[in-house]
Amino acid sequence: MNPGNGNDGRNNRDPGNNTDGQPKPKRMSEQAAIFNTFALIIRNKFSSGGEPEAATNEVPNGDMDTDRKNPKQLEHRLKKLDEAYKSPLYQAEKAMLQELNNNGFGKGLMCGVGTFLFLRSGPRLLRRYIAKNSKPITAHPVRNSGNSNVNVGGYSFDKTSGRMGMEMPGNSAEMIPQPGLFFRTIKFGLDVVGSVYMALFASAYFTNKKKLLNDMSQIPLVEGKSLLSDELCDDFIDVYRGIPKRTWEKYEGLELNGEGDGVEALTAIGIFVKNCLKRQAKENEILEEHRAFGIMEAESDTTDGAVVRKDNHPAIPSPGVSPDTPFAIEWGDNSDDVTVGKERHRDDFDLDDFGEVGFDDLFGDESSSFSAHENPDTDEKGK
């Protein structure tokens, strides 16, 4: 037996390899892992239907972990956020989110309504059109007027209805028996389902995904208060600065060159984080002004007696955060340890490359898409 076949078999069982046994490029698996990590933050912040096994993951510190292990507490927090979101201070963000929801929705709705009208009225209109344009058929003998003794057999077609023979009345379409209530209900349900599917398909087809991602990344710059920024920015920044700096620069370069598949999402995440830093810089500036004038207010949290600040995330005055606001990113200690252009196997990706804050530190085992490697530099030396 060829030893190479055994190696191919092991590689095929390895999720980090292609079916032909060749290692996948680092860019593909790494890209998915980074995106899934940020998606986990959103899920854990705003989803109350977490899986039961997620509660067993031990994550030191952080309110997010407490919410994951206590679904009731998370549900209570979501209700409080929902009540707070009714404040007019969030009006700018809600208007922006509404605009995002309308991206492609209008055209999709029009296609859905048009499909429903066609399914409901199309067959009836088609029957009427056919009946209107069909000629009644009359069969009767034709006599030769020149010679009464000779009968000429044949048929003539006439529109009159008072003669002998067989006819198709003009209102034949209305004489077709109507189906019962049960079948009409089934047909109505099928028409609704088909119209909804067509609306969803058209909405997804006409959605400008690049514009959608770009608009979402601008949410932290809105005026007033931003619920998404308050809930996501801190965790997004921690994960972002823990991932090697050169990794982000690589994906930004791929998008600028029009290369890579799906890198727009990672680029939008990077822009969102940078805008979060700009918003935090503006908030700190406002807080400093409040402290200078002695208008800082505090209230006691009844859950644990801790003192929290009402204006920990103050409202940003109009017109919002300036895109030119200076900011700084404090990268993790190991953010420059990864060699540029170095391709590594998915199992060879070192979680230590993510700096001070790694996947396991934030979310536990379920979010880790890579296996740990003791020394990633050994791969480079072996080449």
Q: Per-residue pLDDT tens for 125-156? A: 777 778 777 765 555 555 555 555 555 555 55
At 239, give phi and psi (nearest 5°): -70, -40
Q: What's the one-letter identity of residue 58?
A: E
**Quick one: which H or E segment has residue 299?**
strand 298-300
Q: Please tell me the predicted confidence (pLDDT) of residue 375.
A: 41
Q: Please tell me the predicted confidence (pLDDT) of residue 18.
A: 56
The domain of 160 spans: 106-139+156-206
Q: Please tell me the predicted confidence (pLDDT) of residue 237.
A: 92
Residue 307 within a domain = yes
Q: Please tell me the predicted confidence (pLDDT) of residue 173.
A: 47
At 298, give phi and psi (nearest 5°): -130, 150
Whole-angstrom CA distances from 39 to 43, 253, 269, 273, 363 are 6, 23, 10, 14, 11
Is residue 23 within 8 A of residue 49, CB to CB? The reply is no
Q: Please tell me the predicted confidence (pLDDT) of residue 15.
A: 53
Residue 144 within a domain = no
Whether pTM exceeds 0.75: no
Residue 119 and residue 257 in one domain: no
Sign of the CA dihedral running 270, 339, 24, 258: positive
Residue 112 and residue 52 in one domain: no
Q: Please tell me the predicted confidence (pLDDT) of residue 363.
A: 38
Q: What is the CA radius of gyration of the chain?
A: 34
Q: Please tell me the predicted confidence (pLDDT) of residue 275.
A: 92
What is the DSSP secondary-structure string of 213-246? HHHHHTGGG-SB--HHHHHHHHHHHHHHHHS-HH
Q: What's the one-letter identity of residue 280?
A: Q
Task: Name residues of the chain where pLDDT drops below 50.
Answer: 1-4, 6-7, 9-11, 13, 25-28, 49-66, 160-168, 171-173, 298-309, 336-383
Q: Please tell me the predicted confidence (pLDDT) of residue 377.
A: 45
Residue 219 within a domain = no
Residue 241 and residue 372 in one domain: yes
